[in-house]
Amino acid sequence: MGKVSALILCAGQGKRIGGCISKQFIEISGHPLIAYTVKKFQEHPLIDNIVLVTREEYIKYCQKDIVEKYGFTKVINIVSGGEERQDSVYSGLQNLDDTTSWVVVHDGVRPLISLQTIDNVLKVAFEKKAAVVGVPAKDTIKIINPDFTVQGTPPRQSLWHVQTPQVFEKKLILKAYTEAKLSGLRGTDDASLVENMGVEVHMVRGEYENIKVTTPEDLMFIQGKVKLDGLDSIKRRNVN
């Protein structure tokens, strides 16, 4: 099967949250948001190692106040990202362990991802080469013209909200990103670049609460849902 590496993205600036702290480092119940996310992949038995992708100015902070402070032993590298998400993922791909066979890409500000969902998407990816997590659209979706008139209403049963993790065979996702870089293609997510090569991507049903923290309301939503189990004890152990 080969090694499984998780790329956890924490290079965003969080402009819609407001304030001077990037959203991935905002404290929830005394711990940085990103710590809850990393903990999930630290705990999953099929994840062999983790690469954090952040902004250059946050690398030292991530090493000292995230990795060392909480004892995240699976984190093998912290690398600088780029201007946009696609650039950050490409940077992470260039810094993977040479023995990596599978890549799990996850947003650092999705702390409510469950171990079971990670397990489910990994199993599908191992069989199909490319798999993403998502949930069915609850609301009717409209296609809108430039003048804001309705062009059409696609069948809701065929529409899903795509989330992360997104899991790929390493050589597949690396080829997709390399070709996109050479052609100037900008995708909306990792899967779209793989789809552009004509490769099938398989959807795995996830959970609605696996939200990407974007607004102050999102922070309020996750406040009572993130699990502190392990973080406090790890923190105390590294302080003593």
Q: pLDDT tens, 141-197? A: 999 999 999 999 999 999 999 999 999 999 999 999 999 999 999 999 999 999 999
43 lies in some domain: yes
50 lies in some domain: yes
d(C-alpha 55, C-alpha 63), whole Å? 12
Nearest to 158 by CA among 131, 174, 140: 140
The Cα-based distances of 31 to 39, 70, 97, 111 in angstroms read 11, 10, 28, 12
38 lies in some domain: yes
pLDDT at 151: 96
Number of separate domains in the chain: 1
107 lies in some domain: yes
11 lies in some domain: yes
111 lies in some domain: yes
pTM of the model: 0.91
CB 24 within 8 A of CB 34: yes
Check pLDDT > 80 for residue 217: yes
